[in-house]
Every structure is written in structure tokens, then in C-alpha cells.
Amino acid sequence: MASKKSLHRFLTGVWRGRQIRSFGALPEGSASSESSQHLINLEYNWLFCSYHPIPIVFSQAKGSSIWDPEGNKYVDFLSAYSAVNQGHCHPRIMKALVEQAQKLTLSSRAFYNDRFPVFAERLTSMFGYDMVLPMNTGAEGVETAMKLARKWGYLKKKIPRDEAIIVSCCGCFHGRTLAAISMSCDNEATRGFWPLLPGHLKVDFGDQAALEKIFKEKGDQIAGFLFEPIQGEAGVIIPPDGYLQAVRDLCSKYNILMIADEIQSGLARSGRMLACDWENVRPDVVILGKALGGGVLPVSAVLADKDVMLCIQPGEHGSTFGGNPLASAVAVASLDVIRDERLAERSAQLGEELREQLVKVQRQFPNLIKEVRGKGLFNAVELNSKALSPVTAYDICLRLKERGVLAKPTHDSIIRLTPPLSISLDELHEGSKALQAVLELDLLKMKKEKPENTTSHAAVDACDRCGRNLYASS
């Protein structure tokens, strides 16, 4: 564990150049002229709302700081689901964006452009793969990897036509397209969207024996094993030590592509460039997204070596915007920031600090906090929902917001804490302080004010496919 001294030295060393950035005051340009409530009402009137947001309106942001239209300041503990690892509106990324936007934004892949090759070279050399296939959103990256695995399965593994299977994990989240939700255990994501995509089997995350069993039984048909090295949306679920290595060994043994969805866990979030680096394993296919666009543009990418990537031929897959020059310039700057500001090391050290603080809060409220877990700045606090009831993690997040900290629950009882990796030590401490204050000062009143919950979670949450209650409140 890093000593306090070395943590401070590390932070002041790396961040000396950025101390001129002020997070205390509203950045240039005043607050929005519309009030938060007016804007929220407008959104409910005019927009299809497929999320359940915390009622705060982002108006400006810098680093880890967010301002609402009224000029109130908050600390971001979500980072747009890890898309803003580098911090909001990072000056180097903004410079790349503006300069490129004034020169060339789109060529389509019908022609060449002078930015994509630079991005492709930077990304492949940084992660040690032969080739990259660029897309835009994370879900598109996942779709691309699945298509690639199927094509490889038929061409190289000689799986009989229409029989290719992709194995994924219970509790996974890979996006919202039909292929991605076809792997989901979350009824809200799947109900009403049937039929789901065929050619798909599920296995428990972190269970090496179950994986081997499925590979043994169906290995001849299995093209790929798609998984998150740390499950994000499921509640920052970290597999047992040795699991990633076991996945690597089993995939090699049964000639199955190991496909790591590092869209959320990658790009320094977990304290390593890739979460797979924690066990020094090299997947056959890596999917990146989110922070690849520096919180500015949707940029995703699939990395693989030639023997896999070249299974897809020209004309068989693509995207109008994938590899566009504007996204490419932004992605190069985003990667440079992660490397130059040593965000992986920073994430590892600050993550330890955050968990240390959170464990202190847990010691104060052992009945309320079931577990503090995480790697780097990819963290979650799992609450004991019975002790908390009728209050939920969402209610706690509402109070955190009142205390200046923006976090989002996942499922009923988990609060994810994933601030930008550029967060300062002081801002980091605000997270645990706010949680401590909510549990100590607000909870009793919240319990009194909230009517008892009459919903049975068991009935609501049992997975349609396996009947298990993965997201049961604990």
C-alpha cells in the first residue's frame, strides 16, 4: 500500500503543472440563464427519458468539478460512467478538438484522412496489437468484436455454418443494442425486445470451473468468450485472483477467442492501462471506448492481431463516423493525457486512499455498509438494504448530491464511486466525508420521511432466463 507521503509526493509531482487550474470558482462564462428546475421540466416534457437521473443539471465542468446553472459546485464521482477519466474539458484534449475541428472533421472511410493512421499507430503500439477497427460507441465496439469472433469461428476454427456460439457472463453489461442486450441478465434491458440473438450461452462470472465445463461441453462451437475483467454495471464486481489467467489458459486450450470488454474497466480506470494487466494476461481481442474519446466524442475501437482481424474483409463491416479525423485527433490527445499524466498510477494510488477512507466509514456503520470494494478508482460501496430500508442507494445519492458529491447507484443497494482520475486528494476526501455525513446526519430523518417499500425485489428482479436473483437487495 502507498504511504501517505509517497502519495502526496506523487500527486504534487505529476500535478505541479496543473495547479494553475482553479476548481474553486465558476470557470469563465457565467452560469446558464435557465434554472435547473425549468431545464429538468423541459426534459420531462420533450425528451424520451430512458434513464432515472439524479436531479442535477450540468452546466459547466472542469477537471472533477461540475457547476449547475445556479453556479453551485459539485465533485463528480461518476465521470460519465468512466468516459471522463482524464477530467472534464481537459485543456490538451480541448486544444486537439478545436484545432482539428477547424481543419477537417469527416472524410468517411470511402477516402483516407491524415489523422486516423496516427491514431491507429498510437493505439496499436500502446496496447501491443497488430490492428485496430475503429467504431464510435461502446456497444458498436462490442457488436464488432462479436461479428469478428463469429467470422473467425467459421473461417479459422471451422465451426459449421450457423452454429457459432459466444459465451458471456451472468451480470454482464455490454451496451444496449440487440446483440448486447441478448447477453444481459437484467430484465429491464431485455423484456419486450424479444427475440434475443441466438448463438449465445451464459456462465457465472468469476467461476473458472463453470467456464471449463461449458468449454468442454460446447467448445467445438464456441467462437469467443466475451467478458468484462471487472463488471462495472453489475456493481464493480471483481473476479477472484487468478481468474483472468484461468480465462486465458482455458481460451487457449479450447481455441476460443478471449474477448475483453475494457470499455469501462480500461484506460487506467482500474489502476492499470487495462484491467487484464492486473494478471498480465493478453486477450485475443480488446474492446475500448468511453475514455478513448476523452469525454468529448464517442470513440471506440477493437484491437486484435492480423490472424483474427483479417477475417473481416473490406466491405463486410464499417461505420460512417468510425475513424473520423476529429475523433482520431481527440483520441490521440486522450491517450497522451493518460500516459503523460500517469493516470494509471494515479488511479491505483488514489483508489487505495479512497478505499481506506471508505473502510473507516464502514467501521463506523458496520450494519449499513456491507462491503467496500474496488481496484484503482473503480469502486463501489455495497449497502445493507435491509438495514437501510425503506431508504435506497438512490436516496443516499440524492443526499450526497445535497452535500456536493455526485454519485450514481447501481441496482438497489450499490453506490459506484468512480471519479475522474485527475481528481485532487481534497476532492477525493469529499466523497467519503459526504457519505459519512449522510449516514450519520441524514439517514434517520430519511427513514422517517419515506413510506415503507411494498415492492418485493425478489419478484421484480429474478432473471427471466435462469430464474436467479442476481441483483437481489442484500
Ligand X SMILES: Cc1ncc(COP(=O)(O)O)c(C=O)c1O
Cα–Cα distance list, 158 to 155, 164, 330 (Å): 6, 10, 39
User: Is 305 among the catalytic positions?
Assistant: no
Binding pattern for the stretch 302-341 against ligand X, x by CB under 6 A and - elsewhere = ----------------------------------------
Catalytic pick from 290, 370, 375, 401? 290
Bridge partners for 408 per DSSP: 416
Residue 261 sits in the site that holds ligand X (CB under 6 A):
yes
H-assigned helices in 294-424: 306-309, 325-340, 343-364, 385-388, 393-402
Angle at the Cα of 406 (from 401 to 407), degrees rounded to 5? 110
Residues touching ligand X, count (CB under 6 A): 15
Residue 142 sits in the site that holds ligand X (CB under 6 A):
yes
Residue 139 sits in the site that holds ligand X (CB under 6 A):
yes
Catalytic pick from 77, 116, 119, 173? 173
The pairing of strands 165-169 and 131-135 is unpaired
State which residue, 69 or 141, has the beta carbon closest to ligand X: 141
**Separation between Cα atoms, residue 90 and residue 412, nearest integer Å:** 33
Residue 81 sits in the site that holds ligand X (CB under 6 A):
yes
State which residue, 60 or 334, has the beta carbon closest to ligand X: 334
Least gap, CB of 158 to ligand X (angstroms): 29
Residue 133 sits in the site that holds ligand X (CB under 6 A):
no
Residue 264 sits in the site that holds ligand X (CB under 6 A):
yes
**Separation between Cα atoms, residue 419 and residue 64, nearest integer Å:** 7
Residue 424 sits in the site that holds ligand X (CB under 6 A):
no
Residue 186 sits in the site that holds ligand X (CB under 6 A):
no
**Separation between Cα atoms, residue 30 and residue 422, nearest integer Å:** 24
| DSSP sequence for 229-252 | SSBTTTTSBPPPTTHHHHHHHHHH
| Those residues with Cβ within 8 angstroms of residue 90's Cβ, 6 or more apart along the chain or in another chain | 63, 294, 295, 333, 337, 422
Least gap, CB of 433 to ligand X (angstroms): 28
Strand order in the sheet with 200-203: 131-135, 300-304, 285-288, 257-261, 222-227, 165-169, 200-203
CB 371 within 8 A of CB 358: no
Residue 137 sits in the site that holds ligand X (CB under 6 A):
yes
Residue 228 sits in the site that holds ligand X (CB under 6 A):
yes
Residue 409 sits in the site that holds ligand X (CB under 6 A):
no
State which residue, 84 or 435, has the beta carbon closest to ligand X: 84
State which residue, 421 or 435, has the beta carbon closest to ligand X: 421
CB 339 within 8 A of CB 273: no
Least gap, CB of 176 to ligand X (angstroms): 6
Quote the crossing angle between the two packed helices 4-15 and 425-437, to the nearest 10°. Answer: 130
Counts for the chain of helices (H) and strands (E), in that order: 18, 15
Catalytic pick from 68, 76, 261, 442? 261
State which residue, 179 or 434, has the beta carbon closest to ligand X: 179
User: Is 261 among the catalytic positions?
Assistant: yes
State which residue, 172 or 332, has the beta carbon closest to ligand X: 172
Contact region with ligand X (CB under 6 A), list: 7-15, 56-64, 136-144, 313-321: 136-144
Half-sphere exposure of residue 261: CA atoms within 13 angstroms, side-chain side: 28
Residue 175 sits in the site that holds ligand X (CB under 6 A):
yes
Kindly provide the residue ranges of all beta strands, DSSP E only, lying in 163-216, ordered along the sequence: 165-169, 200-203
State which residue, 261 or 461, has the beta carbon closest to ligand X: 261
User: Is 290 among the catalytic positions?
Assistant: yes
Cβ-proximal residue to ligand X, closest one: 138
Least gap, CB of 399 to ligand X (angstroms): 25
Least gap, CB of 79 to ligand X (angstroms): 11
Cα 244 to the center of its chain, rounded Å: 18
State which residue, 289 or 419, has the beta carbon closest to ligand X: 289
Tally the residues of the chain: 474
Residue 412 sits in the site that holds ligand X (CB under 6 A):
no
Binding pattern for the stretch 451-470 against ligand X, x by CB under 6 A and - elsewhere = --------------------
**Separation between Cα atoms, residue 3 and residue 352, nearest integer Å:** 10
State which residue, 205 or 254, has the beta carbon closest to ligand X: 205
Q: Which helix (H) or strand (E) holds 148?
A: helix 138-155
Among residues 203, 263, 285, 369, the one that binds ligand X under rule CB under 6 A: 263
Residue 232 sits in the site that holds ligand X (CB under 6 A):
yes
Least gap, CB of 348 to ligand X (angstroms): 20
Strand order in the sheet with 369-375: 369-375, 378-383, 414-417, 408-410
Residue 289 sits in the site that holds ligand X (CB under 6 A):
yes
Query: Contact residues for ligand X (CB under 6 A)?
Result: 81, 137-139, 142, 173-175, 228, 232-233, 261, 263-264, 289
Catalytically active residues are 173, 261, 290
